[in-house]
Amino acid sequence: MGQFVIGVDYGTDSVRSVIVDATNGKEVASSVFNYPRWQQGRYCDAAHNQFRQHPLDYVEGLEQTIKDCVGKAGPSVTSSIKAIAVDTTGSTPVAVNEAGIPLALTAGFENNPNAMFVLWKDHTAVKEAGEINDHAEKFDINYLQYVGGIYSSEWFWAKLLHILRADEQVRSACYTWVEHCDWIPFLLTGGTKADAIRRGRCSAGHKAIWSEAFGGYPPDDWFSSLDPLLKGYAANLPKGTYTSDTAAGTLSAEWAQRLGLSTGVIVGVGAFDAHMGAVGGQIEPYHLSKVMGTSTCDMLVAPKADFKDKLVKGICGQVDGSVIPGMIGLEAGQSAFGDTYAWFRKLLEWPLQFIDDKELQEKVSAKIIPELSKQAAALPLDADAELAIDWLNGRRTPDANQLLKGAIGGLSLGSDAPRVFRALAEATCFGAKAIVERFESEGVPVKGLIGIGGVAKKSPYIMQMMADVMQMPIRIHQFEHTCALGAAMFAATAAGIYPNVPAAMTAMGGGFDKEYFPDQSKASIYQKRYQRYLALGKYIEQEKN
């Protein structure tokens, strides 16, 4: 009899589920659900960097995609499903009550954005992040040393403090603060007490200042001396965390019935999409796994013996067991990648809103990026061409600063759409190069690049440019939903089908279907442009400060 597992991947715009044959990693069925409230732009205010998602989008998507997969796979497969594992965007936390229910699912909070999940790209907590960074300097112990030394507005504690300050009703009703990737397994296993939520090593270590070196989180008075509103939150969190190769429990009777599965199905501990995606993309030590979607998350793993006293500055954390249990996981990334191209597309399609023909609107919109890529690729490489900075949603790494803004320089009357698009594409590649240079300057070699995610699969133009700018080959993983495949690998490990994550990767990984090699003739020009990118970025940062 076969053994099958389900991987669930919560992205920024949609959730996707896949049923995978655990013996070989082959996809049996897949389903995607676009968040309806998110698509309508509800609860968001882009001008003020507010991006919230309603838990109903998550719950409805979870049920519909898994039921759809189960229906497609048929009863012979369904009866042999052993486990489910989930990855999500992050840091995407939510206020819950004592029963572990997100406040937006309780009476009186249904339409309150502060009672919803605060999406990773929400930057309303910039002020609070700055206060945390200033506060950390007052103590003998540097509690930020394992998160790159700089706390970000995209992360757990900054967002909690902002919500507590902004909304008295939420503050009064909030029992604790929970990451999306920790809440979904709690939901599936029928949890009824927030204190019983299993906090994942991934989310706690990279976003919530948890470390074994501290015996857990910083002491409660570290937080309460920052702001009394935080008193008790750290003290009530469990000292221990769980790696994602372990089980959070089994499907509750309610969810087994809703999904058409058995109560014997194991539910794994959750993690962030890029972390499970790196595993799905068959990450190797010292190879940078780049999950390229709306933003990028760049993952690197290394043996623990190499990191006894090493601390990498300006990244999104280094955590024992966050990617592959038994190894050190390091995270970096860019706050806007695909979002940069989407912004430019929306800018160009602005007049379409005045055309009363939805079919025409969609047809034109779908052609913009492919045609821009085609025309930009045909342009001669010019050291003096338009130059852009990719900080349209702030800078994640190196050295988080969400107050920074993007820029485009060198414009002239000859700067048409393909030329500006090329500058934006180059900027995202230069931002990626800055991350590699930071790792290497901190003594962490980058031996190769692995590309996964929507942009990696769909944009040969960007991927070839990435190889040319980096002067390094980049392999593209063959699986379409790589993060969901990674979740499936963790599910198979949690179910005991494989003894560890590397064994699951070996058995279930399908390899790579494309590799881009650098054009050495472009190296010197891109190096000149990269130096100008750094200089322009430095100027913008000085002006902002």
Rounded Cα gap, residues 476 and 341, in angstroms: 20
Q: Summarize pLDDT for 86-117 with one digit per residue, the tens.
A: 999 999 999 999 999 999 999 999 999 999 99
pLDDT for res 312 = 94
Q: What residues have CB less than 8 Å from 543, skipping those under 6 apart?
A: none
Collapsing DSSP states into helix, strand and coil, what is residue 18?
Answer: strand
**Domains of the chain: total:** 2
> Do 88 and 141 belong together in one domain?
yes
Task: Give mean pLDDT, residues 290-310.
Answer: 92
pLDDT for res 278 = 96
DSSP 79-100: TTEEEEEEEE-SS-EEEE-TTS
Q: What residues have CB less than 8 Å from 53, skipping those under 6 apart?
A: 35, 37, 38, 43, 92, 116, 117, 119
Q: Summarize pLDDT for 41-74 with one digit per residue, the tens.
A: 999 998 999 999 999 999 999 999 999 999 999 9
> Do 387 and 521 belong together in one domain?
yes
Q: Are 294 and 119 in contact (CB under 8 A)?
A: no
Q: Is the pLDDT of residue 543 over 90?
A: no
> Do 381 and 489 belong together in one domain?
no
Percent of the chain with pLDDT over 70: 100
Backbone φ/ψ region at 320: left (φ over 0), alpha (ψ -120 to 50), beta: beta
Query: What pTM was computed for the model?
Result: 0.92
Rounded Cα gap, residues 91 and 318, in angstroms: 15
Q: Summarize pLDDT for 248-292 with one digit per residue, the tens.
A: 999 999 999 999 999 999 999 999 999 999 999 999 999 999 999
* The pair of three-digit structure tokens given for residue 411, joined into one six-digit string: 């414009």
Task: Give mean pLDDT, residues 288-311.
Answer: 92
- Domain residues for the domain of 457 are 338-477+514-544
> Do 493 and 365 belong together in one domain?
no
In 143-270, the DSSP E strands lie at 176-179, 247-250, 266-268
What's 392's domain CATH number? 3.30.420.40
> Do 67 and 184 belong together in one domain?
yes
> Do 250 and 346 belong together in one domain?
no
pLDDT for res 545 = 67
pLDDT for res 454 = 86
> Do 406 and 487 belong together in one domain?
no
Q: Is the pLDDT of residue 308 over 90?
A: no
Rounded to 10 degrees, the C-alpha dihedral 218/219/225/226 comes to: 20
Q: Is residue 312 part of a domain?
A: no
Q: Is the pLDDT of residue 1 over 70?
A: no
Q: Summarize pLDDT for 487-533 with one digit per residue, the tens.
A: 999 999 999 999 999 999 999 998 999 999 999 999 999 999 999 99
Per-residue confidence band for 453, with pLDDT thresholds at 50, 70 and 90: confident
Q: Are 152 and 117 in contact (CB under 8 A)?
A: no
Residue type, 65: T
